[in-house]
Amino acid sequence: MEERQFTCHCSTERCLHKVPLFASLNDASLESLTDKMSHRVYQKGEILVMEGQQPLGFTVIHSGSAKAYRTTSDGKEQILYIFPAHDYFGARFLFTEDEVPYCVEALEETHVCILSKQQLKDILIEHPKVALELIEAMAKRMKRLELLMQQSGKKKAEIRIAAILLEFAETYGTQENGRTVVNLPLSQEGIANYVGVARETLSRKLSQLEEEKIVEFTERLQMVVLDTEKLIALSSGEYELNV
């Protein structure tokens, strides 16, 4: 096993540069900001923040990825967000509460940079353009939530599954001679918890999707989208899986 790393290379690499949120800052302010941030490394399975705890702060994922989830009353985990590399979290709950509303857990080795609430507020007041960016970013996240809401109102599992697969394709997919190859961030069990259906239902639906040549599961945690059109039609309810 590799030696565990306790520092990240943020200061040298100026990791914030890759985050669209801070795109409008010039290099000088960016560097002074980076110096002020604290940096941490988490191994796969480690918890970044625990539901009910004090918020860590505004957290930028430098590398790696994480999932945010809550444990429901019947003991299952409902995943709310997957944060890929260069994404961030914390703005939403830094501003609304006292305690974090969900657990965030690393899905792999993950390096993060953290900004305290006050630091973030200072930046937003000083650089209104960053605030505007943040508003836009939040709007995008809301858009996704609204879409999911709409779909989850409906019972059909396949609609919601198709929507999540499309989300994955967009976030983790790469084009390879026409087909979209997607490295899934979660196992089937995890996807089921994200979609909010039973693991068995997901397994059955995925088999159907393969039968109908809409997607293909080549190896563990890898999916190839064969027919994006159909997947979109499915997610909007225009198309249904035949038995």
Partner DNA sequence: GCAAAAGTGTGATTTGAATCACAACATCTT
Partner DNA sequence: AAGATGTTGTGATTCAAATCACACTTTTGC
Q: Note whether 136 binds its own copies by CB under 8 A.
A: yes
Q: Note whether 117 binds its own copies by CB under 8 A.
A: no
Q: Note whether 154 binds its own copies by CB under 8 A.
A: yes
Question: Residue 33: CB partners within 8 Å, gap ≥ 6?
Answer: 16, 22, 25, 115, 119, 123
Closer to its own copies by Cβ: residue 35 or 74: 74
**Both tokens assigned to 80:** 């709310």
Report the greatest alpha carbon distance in the chain.
60
Q: Note whether 153 binds its own copies by CB under 8 A.
A: yes
Binding segment toward its own copies, per CB under 8 A, in 52-60, 120-128, 174-182, 210-218? 120-128
Residue 229 Cβ vs its own copies, minimum distance, rounded to whole Å: 16
Query: Which among its own copies, DNA, none contacts residue 237 (Cβ within 5 to 8 A by kind)?
Result: its own copies
Which residues inside 55-94 make contact with its own copies, applying CB under 8 A? 70, 72-74, 78, 80, 91-94
Q: Note whether 241 binds its own copies by CB under 8 A.
A: no
Alpha carbon 31 to chain centroid distance? Answer: 26
Query: Which among its own copies, DNA, none contacts residue 157 (Cβ within 5 to 8 A by kind)?
Result: DNA
Nearest to 64 by CA among 103, 112, 19: 112
Question: With contact defined as beta carbons under 8 Å apart, do 132 and 85 qualify?
Answer: no
186 to 205: interface string for its own copies, x by CB under 8 A: ---------xx---------
Closer to DNA by Cβ: residue 117 or 199: 199
Q: How far apart are the first and last CA of the chain?
A: 47
* Residue linked to tokens 């490295």: 183
Q: What is the distance between the alpha carbons of residues 84 and 6, in angstroms, rounded to a whole number? A: 20
Query: Which among DNA, its own copies, none contacts residue 117 (Cβ within 5 to 8 A by kind)?
Result: none
Rg (CA), the chain: 19
Alpha carbon 34 to chain centroid distance? Answer: 23
Residue 54 Cβ vs DNA, minimum distance, rounded to whole Å: 29
Closer to DNA by Cβ: residue 92 or 199: 199
Nearest to 54 by CA among 94, 6, 110, 99: 99
Q: For residue 100, with 0-12 CB atoms within 10 Å meaning exposed, 13-18 middle and 19 or more buried, which class applies?
A: buried
The footprint of its own copies (CB under 8 A) covers: 70, 72-74, 78, 80, 91-97, 101-102, 121, 124-126, 128-129, 131-132, 134-136, 138-143, 145-146, 148-150, 152-154, 195-196, 236-238
